[in-house]
A and B are shown apart, each in its own frame.
Chain A
Amino acid sequence: MLLAFDWSQLAQQTVIGLSSGALWALLALAIVLIYRSTGVVNFAQGEMAMLSTFVAWSLVHHGFSFWEAFFATVALSFCGGVGIERAVIRPVERAPVLTIVIVTLGLVFVVDGIARWGWTAETKSLPNAFSTRPIQIAGVAFSIQDLGNIAVSIGLVLLIGVLFRYTKLGLALRAAAINPQESRLLGVRVSWMIAIGWGLAAALGAVAGMLTAPALASFDQNLMQPVLLYALAGAVLGGLESPVGAVVGSLLLGVFVNLVGTYVDWVGNDLRLPVALAVILGVLLIKPAGLFGRTAVRRV
């Protein structure tokens, strides 16, 4: 029985799952970054990433190479994220959670509107980030693109990790998220730290978008909607409070969804999204804090 099992297919599907999961992880990390600093889930994170992807497309369209457009877009997205926070989130920084949630929902429409106004609804495509040739590892064929996505994603996550743990800015960002008032007394400009958090999140989203688009034959303004849901599922699975959790959760989710989709016929391709939603609901019902989150002790 064991010998008849197609191990190479399992390995391939696992890598494919890791590749999707890696891109979801970037968006999930963005969501967790903002959640930790602002206390709110930015429902517009996916649309912002989509807009970044269109900006990249325009740059490519005007003659830049993929990677030139990539880095330029990351920088522009960072500024965009900071700008959005200053303009729209800062006025409601101290408002109740529901108010800020509604602002992010409003942002979904605003950003979507900008994307539909600035670019036609015709489908577009981005050149591939990596070669589409397959590569043989231990006799099994893998796609370089998948491996590339995983590598970039993990690399970026490590970079962000280093930023937060080992730099002065990272320390200030963490302090501002944990304890804003005390941090102000230490001279940390908390308001700007929150804005930088939004900038970093927007940059992460941009990378997610720019790597997701080439994998599809073509994309349009609906590009990131499913990705947002998968990213939310990954973040919830890993624990909304935990950046490590967001990444690990998304990778696990990627593998899980892909394997279930491949091996369970009833799920097939249509029910992949509901599987992710079921994960969200399941985690929230069983252990809301997620895999890596600490169960919050409710202070009475």
Chain B
Amino acid sequence: MTEALLELEDVEARYGQVKALHGVTLEVAEGEIVAVLGANGAGKTTTLRAISGLVSREGGIRFAGKSIARRSPEATTRLGIAHVPEGRGTLSGLSVRENLRLGAYVRRDRAGVREDEGRVLGYFPWLEDRADQRAGTLSGGEQQMLALARALMLRPRLLLLDEPSLGLAPKVVAEIFRIVAELNEREGLTVLVVEQNANLALEASSRAYVLEVGRVALSGSSPELRRDESVRRSYLGY
């Protein structure tokens, strides 16, 4: 059995005195799209932050077999984990081009970066026209796509996507998920996506975990979970 690309084992995380994760265990294999579902406050965003190192955490976190439980966010990025945070994380004072450049900040292979710039613009051609525009003036959907493009500039092994649909119109969200699916198919990009919109997330992913109050309550293949009674009632609305 191949080793998973990302493994979380009994991970706990806290904000100051408040514990947000009470022991989360999950794994993501290379080439998969895995979704993390749950209500507000269930700990979905915290899980991604625990992986990146933005929040104090305990427990086993392994990436490509090596522990990253002690690594800072700057260091996890250097391992090839791209984290698109909740709210996009656009550097609004900088231009679109500068945002993209920062995506490749940790990379040293100039030729590779140029190649990727071409590829990324292939997925988001409109970015070229807006290259010198201030990123803060883009619409929400455009900023989300910029964030995705920026993440791709890292040539990441793992993409952490936090609530991509937040605050966006359905058409835009559909487009984003379509591009994510394409990236996964064409380039084998591994994705861990946190989503409140369970419908979307289950459609886009092959496996999913449902978090409740900082713990994994359910897990399984996405089609299975879609058919599951409790999931349907609590998260899918029917």
Report which A residues bind B (CB closer than 8 A): 168, 171-172, 174-175, 178-179, 181-190
Q: Which residues of B contact A189 (CB under 8 A)?
A: 74
Q: How far is the CA of A232 from the CA of B143 in the complex (A)?
A: 37
Contact of B106 among A174, A181, A187 (CB under 8 A): A187
A174 and B52 CA atoms in complex are apart in Å by: 22
15 additional A-B pairs beyond A185-B77, A185-B89, A188-B105, beta carbons within 8 Å, are: A168-B101, A171-B98, A171-B101, A172-B105, A175-B91, A175-B102, A178-B91, A178-B92, A179-B89, A179-B92, A182-B89, A183-B91, A184-B72, A186-B77, A188-B102
A178 to B106, Cβ gap below 8 A?
no
Instruction: Decide if B119 is an interface residue (CB 8 Å cutoff).
Output: no
Q: Is B83 an interface residue (CB 8 A)?
A: yes
Cβ-based interface call for B85 (8 A): yes
Q: How far, in angstroms, from A168 to B105 measured CA to CA in the complex?
A: 8
B68-95 Cβ-contact flags toward A at 8 Å (1 or 0): 0000111001100001010001111110
Q: Which one, B77, B94, B98, contacts A187 given CB within 8 A?
A: B77
Measured CA separation A171–B102 after assembly (Å): 8
Q: What per-residue 1/0 map shows which CB atoms of B38-76 lie under 8 Å from chain A?
A: 000000000000001010000000000000000011100
What residue in chain B is nearest A179 (Cβ atoms)? B91
Bound form: Cα–Cα A184–B92 in Å = 15
Measured between beta carbons, the chain A residues less than 8 angstroms from B214 are none
Nearest residue (CB) in B for A172 is: B105
Contact (Cβ within 8 A) B85 A182:
yes
**Residues of A with C-beta under 8 A to B106:** 186-187
**Which residue of chain B is the closest to A182 with respect to CB atoms?**
B89
Which partner residue on chain A sits nearest B87 by CB separation?
A182
20 residue pairs of the A-B complex, CB under 8 angstroms, read: A171-B101, A171-B102, A171-B105, A174-B93, A174-B98, A175-B94, A179-B91, A181-B89, A182-B89, A183-B91, A184-B54, A184-B72, A184-B73, A184-B74, A186-B103, A186-B105, A186-B106, A187-B77, A187-B105, A188-B105
A184 to B78 Cα, complex, angstroms: 11
Q: For window 113-165 of chain B, which residues contact chain A by CB distance below 8 Å?
A: 150
Name the residue in A174, A182, A185 with the highest tally of chain B Cβ atoms < 10 Å from its Cβ.
A185
Closest to B101 in A: A171
Which of B74, B90, B98 has the largest count of A CB atoms less than 10 A from its CB? B74
CA distance A155 to B146 in the complex (A): 36
Q: How far is the CB of B147 from chain A (nearest CB, A)?
A: 9
Question: Smallest CB-CB separation from A174: which chain B residue?
Answer: B94
Q: Which of B52, B101, B102, B106 has the most CB of A within 10 A?
A: B102
The interface residues of chain B lying within 8 Å CB-to-CB of A171 are 94, 98, 101-102, 105
The distance in angstroms between the C-alpha atoms of A174 and B83, with both chains bound, is 20
For A168, A172, A181, A182, which residue has the most chain B Cβ atoms within 10 angstroms? A182
Identity of the chain A residue whose Cβ is nearest the Cβ of B72 in the assembled complex: A184
